[in-house]
Amino acid sequence: MDDLTLDEIRLKLAPAIADAAIFDGWSDQALMSAAKQSGIDPEVACIAFTGGAMDMIAAWIGTIDQRMADDLTPERLATMPIRERIRTLVQYRLDAVKGQEEALRRALIIQAMPQNVARAVKFGWSSADLMWRLAGDKATDYNHYTKRTILAGIYGATLAVFIDDESPDKSDTRAFLERRINGVMQFEKAKAQFLKPRDRFSVTRFLGRLRYPAR
């Protein structure tokens, strides 16, 4: 334990803090409980989380990101259609916090506080960016940003359903996620069709002919 960096200590403690947060919230009490359980010096644990609850939540999200990247590599996902890759990645994150719904609820409340919103948005963007990169996305134009913004919105909306879902095996959440992804895929298909070059009618060509009549 003495050889661990502060970043490593944060990642080591985060899952235990999340378990404690179910009962104690994202508090110093939860941090001390996790430190004791993990064999980390409480004073060192406090140094690792000087930013309080948001630092604890960031570390928890970091552990989920790390496990997702380890388990769902681009090579493993490459055999799936793109919509299935995204569904699998989001579902992985939901499964990772199953049983910790109360900790998640408290984390979302903390992130929604005015002083925390900007940082919370970065959390969502970062996780969405990682999911798209694991899915094989290499877009560098405006699609890079729109894809991540849309996915962050889907993920956030699905979390809101997930925390109150008491259906067997979270079937209501799965159905909600499926509908949201279907909606986005339909939008992307329509957008691609709209942007595809057409041989039939071109407004630009039409206006050009009005200005410069063919001879």
Question: Residue 100 belongs to what domain range?
Answer: 6-193
Is residue 43 domain-resident? yes
CATH number of the structural domain spanning residue 141: 1.10.357.10
Distance CA 190, CA 181 (A): 14
Distance CA 119, CA 58 (A): 9
Kindly report the pTM of this predicted structure: 0.84
Is residue 46 domain-resident? yes
Residues 33-91: tens digit of each pLDDT: 999 999 999 999 999 999 999 999 999 999 999 999 999 999 999 999 999 999 999 99
Domain total in the chain:
1
Predicted local distance difference test score (pLDDT) of residue 206:
47
Query: Is there a contact between 107 and 27 (Cβ–Cβ < 8 Å)?
Result: no
Is residue 204 domain-resident? no
Is residue 212 domain-resident? no
Is residue 59 domain-resident? yes
Is residue 157 domain-resident? yes
Is residue 214 domain-resident? no
Is residue 20 domain-resident? yes
Average pLDDT of the chain, as a whole number: 88
